[in-house]
Amino acid sequence: MKHLLRNILIAAALPLLSLGAWAQAAVEQPAAAVSETAAAESADKAAVKAEGIWIDVRTAEEFAQGHLEDAVNIPVDQIAQAIEALSPDKDAPLHVYCRVGRRAEMARQLLLEKGYTNVTNHGGYEELVEKGLR
C-alpha cells in the first residue's frame, strides 16, 4: 500500500515539477519590452530605407563620427523644441535612431506626446549599418 501511495504521489508530482521548471524559465527570461521588439523588427526591415524623415538623436559629436545619409541630427534633449520646425505634419513618417536604441525610444515617446502619430524607433546606428543602411 505504501508503494502504491508513493507511486501515485510521484505520478502526480512529475507534471507539477515540469510546470514549475517551465514557469522558472519564463521568469528568468523576461519578455522584451514592446518598444524594444518594435525597434528590432523595424531594424530588420531597415535594409531598404523607409521613406520619411530620419532623425539621429545622438549628440553632435556622435553624429560627426558617422550617421545615416540624409539623417538630421537633433539630440534627444532638443527634439521636443525642434521637431515642429522640421516636420509640421504630425502624420509624416519619422524614423529615430541613436547608439543602441534607448535615446531613440525616449525621443519616440516625446514625439508621440507632442501628437506625432507615425514614429518608429530603429534602434542603434551600428546595427542599422550592419543591416545595410547607409
Q: In terms of Cα–Cα distance, which of 24, 43, 15 is closest to 104? A: 43
96 strand-pairing partners: 55, 121
65-70's contacts with Cβ under 8 Å and 24+ in sequence apart are 66/125, 66/129, 67/125, 68/97, 68/125, 68/128, 68/129, 68/133, 68/134, 69/134
Residue 25 annotated to the active site = no
The grid cell for 17 is: 515539477
Among the listed residues 83, 98, 104, 133, the single catalytic one is 98
Grid cell of 83 as nine digits: 521637431
Catalytic residues: 98
